[in-house]
Amino acid sequence: MQGNGVAAVGECMLELSGRQGADWRMGFAGDTFNTLWAIRALLPDDVAADYVTAFGDDPFSRDQIAFFRDHGIGIARSPVIAGARPGLYAITLHGAERSFTYWRADAAARRLADDPVALRASLEGRRLAYFSGITLAILEPKARDKLLDTLRAVRANGTTVAFDPNYRPRLWPSPEAARASIAEAIAVADIALPTFPDEQSLFGDASPGATAERLAKAGVGELVVKDGEAPALVIASGEGTSVPAIKVEAVDTTGAGDSFNGAYLAARLSGDDPVEATRRAHRVAAAVVQVRGALAPFGTLKGAFG
């Protein structure tokens, strides 16, 4: 992989995480941002890491940009839109499992592809560009096309593109619409990082092996099929390897898959082969589920990554 740094595309929201009673903690999170957070923690400081989205001009958006900057994350050419604001979600925990309530219909991130020139400038020349099915789902069809066109163009110029289908039914008008868009995105991806229960729900795959076979036939050369506490299935250079997960007592599973993705991509960027990258990603995911919130401290991520 060559080029200048890493960019992730999507929506970073305001996150409210519940405590006892009426006390809530506000933070910033979102699937592709959580992945970039892990990448930022695990790669050297001189590797650029930028989050590509659209921001409002409200105080929360300004705080979000400042939070990124304080943790070594830039915003590239992401637009700031007058009168817009970020989306919001709240996490409710039931044991270690979580449920989410969202307020995001008018979020600024839905306009991240309004300026195709700025979007191209944000992604051009990167070592890696990362996006997800949620990135696709928040965009209107024309904006989705602009994003995929941009990814095709930068990929043709040498950027490696990684994609997590991350299917969330409530964000799509129908399963058919989700299947069509995700299939288009898979065709743009060099690396795919699907989660088996999502793929089973959307495509009817009978097993992680069936998911891997379908994606390989679609042209993805490198993929890791995640499956919670079950082993991950790694496919690279036509070979398949099962890599066991690490079982721990989970406190909060929020962001575990996103952190796995970030650790995997950071390991690959650092020169690890896909199987070793998956082992390191499992270690990071196991550490993340033992802390509360979507963003584990950088020290926690680094310690698990090794």
From the list 31, 50, 198, 258, the catalytic residue is: 258
In this structure, the number of other CB atoms found within 10 A of the CB of residue 80 comes to 14
φ/ψ of residue 247, rounded to 5: -90, 125
Burial class for 145, CB neighbours closer than 10 Å (0-12, 13-18, 19+): middle
Give me 265's structure tokens: 């991509």
For the question of residue 63 being annotated catalytic, the response is no
Listed residue (64, 65, 86, 159) closest to 121, CA to CA = 159
- Distance from the Cα of residue 133 to its chain's centroid: 9
User: Rounded to 5 degrees, what angle do the CA atoms 9, 11, 16 make?
Assistant: 145
Burial class for 241, CB neighbours closer than 10 Å (0-12, 13-18, 19+): middle
169 and 200 Cβ atoms separated by less than 8 Å: no
Could you say which DSSP state residue 170 is in?
A: G
273 and 47 Cβ atoms separated by less than 8 Å: no
Listed residue (195, 202, 292) closest to 245, CA to CA = 195
The set of catalytic residues is 258
